A = this chain, B = another copy of it.
Amino acid sequence: MSRAAARDEGRVAALGELQALLGDRLTTAAAMREAHGRDESWHAVAMPDAVAFARTTEEVAAIIRICSAYDMPVIPFGAGTSLEGHVSAVHGGLSLDLSQMNAILEVNAADLDVRVEAGVTRKQLNDYLRDTGLFFPIDPGANATIGGMVATRASGTNAVRYGTMRENVLNLTAVMADGSVVRTARRARKSSAGYDLTRLLIGSEGTLGIVTEVTLRLYGIPEAIRSGVVPFASIEGAVDAVIETIQSGLPVARIEILDPLSIRACNAYSKLTLAEVPTLFVEFHGTDASVAEQAERFGAIASEHGGGASEWATKAEDRTKLWEARHNAYYAALAYAPGKKGMVTDVCVPISRLAEAIRGTLADLETSFLKAPIVGHVGDGNFHMLLLMDPANPQDLAEATRLHDRMVARALSLDGTCTGEHGIGEGKIKFLEAEHGTGVAVMRAIKQALDPKGILNPGKIFSA
């Protein structure tokens, strides 16, 4: 029997055992497999052999043990909102959908933490928390699952003030490649007890373990919130205002850049009437007195750099509308260019190099036939280029790849990273070596030690 035939026979046997375990929560229907082989990006769909819907950590462990016995790949799936092809089944196997594990297990208001199943989405969590006066700040825009946000080390608009998933997870429960269940830490705010398995799993993109439960830090909803929009005469002016804001230690809660093209797309998609100029969306959290003070200090910095009059969204519904528009910038860009898909780059550089990084990207775009709105969590030095392209058109794909590669190379040359928050997936494998050099061998050694059969999301982070 050939190796391929043996593999196929093993997978048939695995699916039989999975069917016995899960009943109709295992499916091989083409539509379901197709939906689980794609994320929100331009990356090609690679369908899994089947999709399993798990309901408990123990069930996930049983699934992993079956897949391990038959060397069958397992690709965890949450909301499918990833952007680097994280969920595509490049070697077939099982898509393990955790969206039914969506219970909010325990709110510890006194300790400002909450324990949730991995399939809970960030909007679901914040809706649930509303009456407690607490909130979970990490906000990647998309309504991702908490498990997915762990997997990609997500961040988003609030990270400049509250940190990323790296700083806001107290512990995880994960099923490892051998089916063992690990709780990575206790509920204490800090610990020096052994290796930091929590942080090792955060950002591991499902390649080291399947996260099933997460304990998150929460924060009190600020007494006062002030959001606003500031138009600028130039991108440089807007970026310089951001840099000075961060360097001055002003504790801004959100500070986002949108270029004129992004504003045009958002105006159309979210029914806004903003001037089509470089714009900052900002937000301050604190007491009434402190947000007033912050807004005033920021206003002074902005006007020094060509910022116009700030428009403040004082009512909660205006704030919501503003941030929904920002969150929908990617969808707005796609709607702006019907028939195109998004190659979304995501780099992050030291704040002092941000102007140089954005300027270089804009210069590249000026001479390109492709359009690409620029938006970003610029307070972290993180920004995105939303390349609108048709991956089936070789010219589009070549040009988008060229622009994308140049932006990443520029970020690396400025001591930045090839991805601030989207992850490596399959889309950025080629940059991992350029960024980490000898560190990649260390990562591979860890992968080999914890998943010797390579069944956990193979073909992501590393080529396989």
**Could you tell me which A residues sit within 8 Å of B by CB distance?**
108-113, 152-155, 159, 163-164, 166-167, 176, 180-197, 199-200, 202-204, 208, 219-220, 243, 246-249, 287, 289-290, 293, 346, 348-352, 380-382, 411-412, 415-424, 428, 431-432, 435-443, 445-450, 461
- Bound form: Cα–Cα A247–B203 in Å: 29
Tell whether, in the assembled complex, residue A380 and residue B196 are in contact, meaning their CB atoms are under 8 Å apart: no
Residues of B within 8 A of A199 (CB): 166, 196, 199-200
- Bound form: Cα–Cα A438–B442 in Å: 23
A58 to chain B, nearest CB (A): 14
A-B contact sample (17 more), CB < 8 A, given A110-B243, A185-B417, A442-B450: A111-B350, A152-B192, A180-B438, A182-B442, A184-B439, A186-B435, A188-B348, A188-B349, A191-B348, A192-B419, A192-B421, A193-B419, A194-B461, A196-B199, A197-B439, A446-B446, A446-B450
Tell whether, in the assembled complex, residue A450 and residue B461 are in contact, meaning their CB atoms are under 8 Å apart: no
Residue of B nearest to A249 (CB): B220
- Bound form: Cα–Cα A461–B192 in Å: 10
- Bound form: Cα–Cα A187–B199 in Å: 18
Tell whether, in the assembled complex, residue A446 and residue B449 are in contact, meaning their CB atoms are under 8 Å apart: yes
Residues of B within 8 A of A428 (CB): 193
Residues of B within 8 A of A352 (CB): 108, 110-111
Residue of B nearest to A439 (CB): B182
* Copies of this chain, count: 2
- Bound form: Cα–Cα A34–B419 in Å: 47
- Bound form: Cα–Cα A366–B445 in Å: 51
Residues of B within 8 A of A193 (CB): 417-419, 423-424, 428, 431-432, 435-436
Residues of B within 8 A of A411 (CB): 188
CB-defined A-B contacts under 8 Å, sample of 17: A111-B352, A182-B439, A185-B417, A186-B435, A187-B350, A189-B351, A191-B417, A193-B435, A193-B436, A194-B461, A195-B204, A195-B461, A196-B202, A197-B443, A200-B446, A287-B293, A446-B450
Tell whether, in the assembled complex, residue A192 and residue B423 are in contact, meaning their CB atoms are under 8 Å apart: yes
Residues of B within 8 A of A287 (CB): 293
A186 to chain B, nearest CB (A): 5
Residues of B within 8 A of A163 (CB): 167
Known contacts A188-B416, A190-B348, A380-B190, A195 near B110 by CB under 8 Å: no
